[in-house]
Structure 1
Amino acid sequence: MAPTNQVLVKENLNVRIIILNRPKQLNALSLEMVSRLLELFHAYEEDPSVKLIIMKGEGRAFCAGGDVAGVVNDINKANWKVGAHFFSKEFTLNYLMATYTKPQVSLLRGIVMGGGAGASMHGRFRVATDNSVFAMPETALGLFPDVGASYYLSRLPGFFGEYVGLTGARLDGAEMLACGLATHFVPLEKLSLLEDALCKANTGDPNTISKIISEFSSTPKLKEKSQYFRLKTIEGCFSQRTIEDIISALEKEAAKNMDEWISWTIESLKKASPTSLKISLRSIREGRLQGVGQCLIREYRMVCTVMQGQFSRDFFEGCRALLLDKDKNPKWEPSKLEFVSDSMVERYFQALDIKEWEDLKLPARSNLPSYAISKL
Structure 2
Amino acid sequence: MTDDVIIRRARDCGRITLNRPKALNALNQDMVDAMYAALKDWREDDSVKAVVVDGAGEKGFCAGGDIRMLAESGKAGDGRAWRFWRDEYRLNTLIAEYPKPYIALIDGITMGGGVGVSVHGDFRVAGDRTTFAMPETGIGFHPDVGGAYFLPRLIGEVGTWMGLTGARLKAADCILTGVATHYVPSEQRPALIEAFETRTLDSDGEAAEALLDEFSGDPGQSDLALTRGLIDSAFAGDDVAAMEARLEAAGDSWSLRQLDVLRSKSPTACTVTLAALRRGASMNFREVMAQDLRVSMRFLEDGSDFYEGVRAVILDKDNAPRWAARAGNAAPWFAPLADDQEMSFENA
TM-score if structure 1 supplies the norm length? 0.89
Matches within 5 A, 1:346-357: 346-352=331-337, 354=338, 357=340
1:341 alignment counterpart? 328
Distance in 2 (CA, whole Å) between partners of 1:269 and 1:38 is: 35
Q: Detail structure 1 runs of 4+ shifted over 3 Å in the superposition.
A: none
Unaligned runs of 5+ in 1: 366-376
Distance in 2 (CA, whole Å) between partners of 1:70 and 1:358 is: 19
- Pairwise CA distance, 1:205: 2.9
- SS at the partner of 2:207? helix
* Superposition RMSD in Å: 1.5
Post-superposition Cα deviations, 1:238-281, rounded to whole Å, max 9, x if no partner, equal 11231011111111111xxx21x322210111011111000100
Q: Does 1:278 align with 2:275?
A: no
1:315 alignment counterpart? 306
- SS at the partner of 1:10? strand
Question: Are the aligned partners of 1:151 and 1:291 in contact in 2 as well (CA < 8 Å)?
Answer: yes
- Give me the identity figure in percent: 34
Question: Are the aligned partners of 2:5 and 2:31 in contact in 1 as well (CA < 8 Å)?
Answer: yes
- Pairwise CA distance, 1:282: 0.8
What letter is aligned with 2:316? D
- SS at the partner of 1:348? helix
Question: Are the aligned partners of 2:74 and 2:301 in contact in 1 as well (CA < 8 Å)?
Answer: no
1:150 alignment counterpart? 148
1:97 alignment counterpart? 95
What letter is aligned with 2:152? S
Distance in 2 (CA, whole Å) between partners of 1:43 and 1:75 is: 32
1:25 alignment counterpart? 23
- Pairwise CA distance, 1:219: 2.7
Distance in 1 (CA, whole Å) between partners of 2:42 and 2:13 is: 10
- SS at the partner of 2:53? strand
Post-superposition Cα deviations, 1:164-207, rounded to whole Å, max 9, x if no partner, equal 11000111011001100000001111111112222232312312
Matches within 5 A, 1:255-294: 258-259=252-253, 261-294=254-287
What letter is aligned with 1:71? L
Distance in 2 (CA, whole Å) between partners of 1:357 and 1:347 is: 19
Post-superposition Cα deviations, 1:327-366, rounded to whole Å, max 9, x if no partner, equal 11111112xx4xx212xx11001013x5x7431012477x
1:372 alignment counterpart? none
- Pairwise CA distance, 1:10: 3.2
- SS at the partner of 1:62? strand
Q: Go from structure 1 to structure 2 and tell me whether the alpha carbon gap of 1:228 and 1:80 turns closer, same or farther (over 3 Å shift).
A: farther
- Pairwise CA distance, 1:316: 0.7
Distance in 2 (CA, whole Å) between partners of 1:104 and 1:181 is: 14
Matches within 5 A, 1:62-81: 62-76=61-75, 78-79=76-77, 81=79
- SS at the partner of 1:18? strand
- SS at the partner of 1:127? strand
- Pairwise CA distance, 1:80: 5.5
- Pairwise CA distance, 1:16: 1.6
Question: More displaced, 54-63 or 232-241?
Answer: 232-241
1:212 alignment counterpart? 211
Question: More displaced, 67-76 or 18-27?
Answer: 67-76
- SS at the partner of 1:126? strand
- Pairwise CA distance, 1:123: 0.5
2:42 alignment counterpart? 44
- SS at the partner of 2:157? helix
Distance in 2 (CA, whole Å) between partners of 1:188 and 1:236 is: 35
2:196 alignment counterpart? 198
- Pairwise CA distance, 1:228: 4.1
Question: Are the aligned partners of 1:151 and 1:288 in contact in 2 as well (CA < 8 Å)?
Answer: yes
Question: Are the aligned partners of 2:144 and 2:292 in contact in 1 as well (CA < 8 Å)?
Answer: yes
Post-superposition Cα deviations, 1:6-33, rounded to whole Å, max 9, x if no partner, equal 0102321121210000111111101111
Distance in 2 (CA, whole Å) between partners of 1:146 and 1:268 is: 20
What letter is aligned with 2:334? F
Distance in 2 (CA, whole Å) between partners of 1:273 and 1:152 is: 22
2:318 alignment counterpart? 327
Distance in 2 (CA, whole Å) between partners of 1:80 and 1:207 is: 46
